Structure 1
Amino acid sequence: MAEEKHHHLFHHKKDEEGDVYSEGGIYSETTTAYGGAYSSEENVGQYHKKEEIDYEKEEKHHKHLEHMGELGTAAAGAFALHEKHKAEKDPEHAHKHKIEEEIAAAAAVGAGGFTFHEHHEKKEAKEEEKEAHGKKHHHLF
């Protein structure tokens, strides 16, 4: 991805003659958007450094969430089957068990969707890590 420019509310562009605001003492190059002044020239821009992204950590995080989604899918599915069995064995409260079965089935589908989403996030993090380390693969189709 190309370099992105971040525009902040309190940063003003300079005119060709110079910064209009710095002449009057209102703004200067050493003043941050937060109002504090820098003590030396080497610290200028310290608030705008781009953080390094740990792609391996991100991939592990999504893998962990994917496994949690798998467990949630299995648990909700097992509970739905349990309620289905209870509905057959307890005809007096069958309607209640059928409703709980449907809710558990919906939860299982939702957890499955979450698992699917995290699987793709994990793959995306892995691809971003490859791109960051210079192993770019361009797919045309």
Structure 2
Amino acid sequence: MDASSQHDPPTGPARASVTTITLSHRHLPGTSVIAVGGEVDLASSGRLADYVKGVRRPGDHVVFDLTGLLFLDCSGLRVLIASARQAAADDAMVLLAGAHGVPARLMHIVRMHSLLPMVSTVEQALITLPITACAGTR
């Protein structure tokens, strides 16, 4: 058996083909809920950033539903933080809901909760958001 064959790293294209991201959204009064699934890494974080820009309505709060998120790296964290900055410029909030596994561990390590509220479920996030006039509370 050739010893060098035991140490060959996986090829780049094989790894790239594994990276998948799923995105969907729903609009509620005053809130955009964006579901992120699969893997968010350097190869897919730009797609997430573009999606958020395309579906978030100005002034909306944003709830990221991360229950389907399997992997997250620092490029994905940057997108979440940038989304929070944009929302803050509109006097809105961003909440993260349902993170678990590897993404939750990364968020814990970098103390993401000190930047963005993190809750267990989307329902809990929606209850946490301030009620706004555009949500029908005049």
TM-score range, shorter chain: under 0.3
Q: TM-score under structure 1 normalisation? A: 0.23
In our comparison, the structure showing a higher alpha carbon Rg is 1
Question: Which structure has greater strand proportion?
Answer: 2
With normalisation by structure 2, the TM-score equals: 0.23
